[in-house]
Amino acid sequence: MKKPIALTVYFFMIIASTAFAQPLANTNNKFTGAETDATQNSQWNGKKVAFLGDSMTQKFNKENTVYWEFLKDLLGIEPFVYGISGNQWDGIYRQALKLTEEKGENVDAILIFAGTNDYNHGLPLGNFFTETLKETNHNGKQVVRKFRTPVFNDSTFCGRINKVMDYLKTTYPDKQIIILTPIHRGFAQFSESNIQPDENFANEQGLYIDEYINILREAASVWAVPIIDLFSVSGLFPLQDSHGRYFKNIKTDRLHLSSDGNYRLAKTIQYQLLSLPSNFNE
């Protein structure tokens, strides 16, 4: 007696769903065993990815799973993590040097997630270039034109970014380099002497975090690298109480992410990365 067609299809669907489901492997969060739309057969599978950054990237403790840990499961990458709590973009330069010292060229892509501490410490923005007048040949005639020179220093935001990007572009010309903007900032109090207002307050330069985000957007254009604008596309908004579960503590820490927040961040980065090459040497 032949089995009904509908029953045969049903069993096939059961087998197929079991074969293709990709559960998260992490054992430190509530997402363990949950079905996800992991994309481990993408161009990022098996790629060595360096993460430079601040406390958003540094692995603090076992309480929360960090976004790059989720990305390891979602994309199948091998993460090299150099983030250090409190680092600004001058610290990113030191992290880049350490990456080269430890890994050499054995890396496919480099992600930089920093800038919020530069804002919080009131770093002047500066400029990417200085301008002078310089003589050049145009169509066989000597003319004098405006000429720009990149600024490399640690005393301005633009100067720090230029310094980092110049080093990475020189050292890793065939690697994918991506800037990630900071997310929005909420209130945080870590001690009596370490209280950080939310982003509705300007810093000591009279600048809002938005202006530092705009500099990073410009930097991506100046240095011809992709940018993942997490300030805009992550959906994480600590100024609303309804987003409290995405942050470590709704009363005392709306800067750092909970596992929920890191998962949401990872999902956003995952789908942005799927639209980009993972390297340029294959």
Question: pLDDT (tens digit, 9 = 90+) per residue, 174-183?
Answer: 999 999 999 9
DSSP helix/strand/coil, 109: strand
pLDDT score at 19: 34
On whether the pTM is more than 0.85, the answer is yes
DSSP helix/strand/coil, 179: strand
Decide: residue 54, CB within 10 A, 0-12 exposed, 13-18 middle, 19+ buried: buried
**Is the pLDDT reported for residue 218 higher than 80?**
yes
Question: pLDDT (tens digit, 9 = 90+) per residue, 171-209?
Answer: 999 999 999 999 999 999 999 999 999 999 999 999 999
* DSSP states of 38-93: --TTSTTTT-EEEEEESTTTS---SSS--HHHHHHHHH--EEEE---TT--HHHHH
Amino acid at 137: N
Q: Which CATH number fits domain 40-125+158-273: 3.30.565.10, 2.60.40.10, 3.90.320.10, 3.40.50.1110?
A: 3.40.50.1110
Residues forming beta bridges with residue 111, ordered by sequence position: 51, 178
Question: pLDDT (tens digit, 9 = 90+) per residue, 100-148?
Answer: 999 999 999 999 999 999 999 999 999 999 999 999 999 999 999 999 9
In this prediction, residue 31 has a pLDDT band, given cuts at 50, 70 and 90, of: low
Rounded CA gap, 264 and 30, in Å?
13
